[in-house]
Structure 1
């Protein structure tokens, strides 16, 4: 999973969504109106905005392996028809993740969604990764697993699909190799270029894991930080830009 930032939509798009929402008063009406809306020019513009949010390769924000092509209502319309035309409720994900998600939407004791919304929450606040295997797991604290992390992994099973895990593992391995070499070679032009390329083509959002999370404690990255502070700072800047969704767009 990876954090993405929601773009603002223009006034004309917001007005159109508001008008559509005003027409519906039931789940059935919402489904009919949504189908009509999807065929409009305005919907195509909205999809374009969601695609920009997903990045140039339009990878699914959940599994990060498949191409995003489905507009998902984060809070299912089946549970609340009023969210059918709310911009903040739209997210672009792949068909497989969408199929697994369906209308699953459990709430915590405080009424907050247990499913991670990557447009509002940094998934790494609730998840961890084993860089040797590429497997993602919920954080463990206070004697129990993180509720959001645990629930999200149960619902969106493709996150730990075998092929997805392998891609994530290879990406982590690439970062560790670069850190190991750069710690020895220093802040060279080639090292900077290699890190920039790795972050640009990192479709799993692992740069921020290695820069700001437990990944920074890996031996290769500790060595990089200690032996080559300028290059470490450059990598952290790249990771920050990636988390802000400014690379690859």
Structure 2
């Protein structure tokens, strides 16, 4: 996971999302909102395809998942799950690019501490303030906060929900990157 700058959407797409959200909120208030059907219908539209394209652009040429950075980001993920927070279903700041595996692990999970989200939103904050990398195992873990004398609650919740410490392919990828970077640094220090 890394900090990601959220791109601006074209005005026409912003307006479309706003209208969809107003309509969904009205349906929800009246008890008429079928969340999955509404979302499936919206996903077929050009504006939602533009949302996916913008999210993919934010992740660069490899279009990685915003959570694990390992797998291909294939679909829109609702940071606050649409089933639990239908009033945020079409809000641009709530939409992330996610791989199938992270989406499956996260599902409708959204741990909170009071009114604050415990999951890390990589478009709003630096994940490495809450996470650490273990170069021996290749795992991601919660960062220990010396001021609080405790593990980062956001880091722990994010690791737990997304299973960042139990995914072999993810660990292997991180270790491969670490070895590659170590080789580059070593060559630079040795002058060759």
TM-score normalised according to structure 2 size: 0.90
- Distance in 2 (CA, whole Å) between partners of 1:121 and 1:155 is 18
Matched, 1:11 2:17: no
Provide, for residues 42-99 of structure 1, a one-character-per-residue CA deviation record: whole Å limited to 9, x for no partner.
1111111011012111111222221111211100111121101101100011011001
Is the radius of gyration larger for structure 1 or structure 2?
Answer: 1
Q: Counting helix residues as a fraction of each chain, which structure ranks higher? A: 1
Q: 1-side partners of 2:22 and 2:54: how far apart? A: 23
Q: Which whole-Å CA distance do the structure 2 matches of 1:76 and 1:39 have between them? A: 20
Cα-to-partner distance string for 1:192-240 (whole Å, 9 max, x where unaligned): xxxxxxxxxxxxxxxxxxxxxxxxxxxxxxxxxxxxxxxxxxxxxxxxx
Who is 1:98 aligned against? 103
Tell me if the contact between 1:96 and 1:158 (Cα under 8 Å) persists in the aligned partners: no
Aligned to 2:40: 35
3-state SS of paired residue (1:91): strand
The 5 Å alignment of 1:38-57 reads: 38-57=43-62
Q: Is the contact between residue 3 and residue 121 of structure 1 (CA under 8 Å) also seen in structure 2? A: yes
What CA RMSD, in Å, does the superposition of the two structures yield over aligned residues? 1.6
Q: Extract unaligned runs of 5+ from structure 2.
A: none
Q: CA deviation at 1:159?
A: 5.5
* Inter-partner Cα distance in structure 2 for 1:146 and 1:103: 22
2:19 & 2:99 partners in 1: Cα distance? 28
Structure 1 unpaired stretches of 5+? 186-190, 192-249
Richer in strand (by share): 2
Question: 1:160 offset after TM fit, Å?
Answer: 3.9
CA contact (8 A) 1:131 1:173 kept: no
Does the 8 Å contact 1:4/1:119 carry over to 2?
A: yes
Query: Are 1:131 and 2:139 matched, yes or no?
Result: no
**How many residue pairs get matched?**
185
Larger displacement relative to structure 2 (40-49 or 91-100): 40-49
Secondary structure of 1:45 counterpart: helix
The residue that corresponds to 1:22 in the other structure is: 22
Report whether the alignment pairs 1:108 with 2:103: no
